[in-house]
Structure 1
Amino acid sequence: MLLRLDATDGRPLHEQVAGAIRRAIAEGECAPGDRLPPARDLSRALGVNANTVLRGLRTLRDEGVLEFRRGRGVTVAAAADQRSHLLERARQLLADAAHLGYSRNDLIEMIRGLS
């Protein structure tokens, strides 16, 4: 798995780490059930602190994209590719709404009105 961070990106590093892993999953570099390299190895490859990588991994675990299993390490969750893609689209929608002056709650109300 080849991950890269963008030095010009203004987002916090842990968000960039999570985004890079999401992209790797969405592009098929990592499939459901695949095991990720240890956080220490990822941190060396990316040139960031191991705690930064762990924070990004925990974010993805909380989103249901990754699974942490004792003795087995971190693996890509089943259907993570679909979930990762949907979460990325939701983030983009939220950013677009904010750009147009809508709050998160305004967006939620718009979505509720669709059903």
Structure 2
Amino acid sequence: MLIRVDPASPLGLAEQIAAQVRAAVIDGSLRGGDKLPPARELAAGLDVNMHTVLRAYGVLRDEGIVELRRGRGAHVRSDLAEPDRERIALRRELRALLDRAARIGLTPDQLADELRKASS
């Protein structure tokens, strides 16, 4: 798995890393049980701080995508089912929608109101 970051991107470095891991899980190039690169190694390869990689891995853990095991590294959860992949894909689309809404000046609450109106 190849991870790249763009320092000029409006997305933070940790979010860029997490987004690429999410995309790899969604498209199947990362499967349950696969090991992610060690944080120190990935940080050196990307020329970023190791804590940036650890922050990305922590976000992925909080989202239920990866397991962090002390001394064994980060692994994609082996029990990730298709509904989980769909939820991850939906969350990715929602982030894009939030970004788009912010570009036109809508707050998350205003976007939620728009979603409610659309579903009525």
Q: Which runs of 5+ in 2 are unaligned?
A: none
CA distance in 2, matches of 1:68, 1:83: 20
1:107 pairs with 2:107: no
Question: 1:34 maps to which residue?
Answer: 34
Aligned counterparts of 2:53 and 2:103: Cα–Cα separation in 1? 29
Q: Post-superposition shift, 1:70? A: 4.1
Say how many residue pairs are matched. Answer: 115
TM-score, length basis structure 1: 0.82
> How far 1:58 moved relative to its partner?
0.7
The residue number in structure 1 matching 2:96 is: 92
Counterparts of 2:87 and 2:69 in 1: how far apart (Å)? 20
Offset of 1:55 from its aligned partner? 0.6
Inter-partner Cα distance in structure 2 for 1:82 and 1:42: 27
* Structure 2 CA distance for aligned equivalents of residues 32 and 83 of structure 1: 15
User: Identity of counterpart residues, as a percentage?
Assistant: 43
Q: Which residue of 2 aligns with 1:81?
A: 85
Q: Which residue of 2 aligns with 1:21?
A: 21
The root-mean-square deviation of aligned C-alpha atoms, in Å, is: 2.1
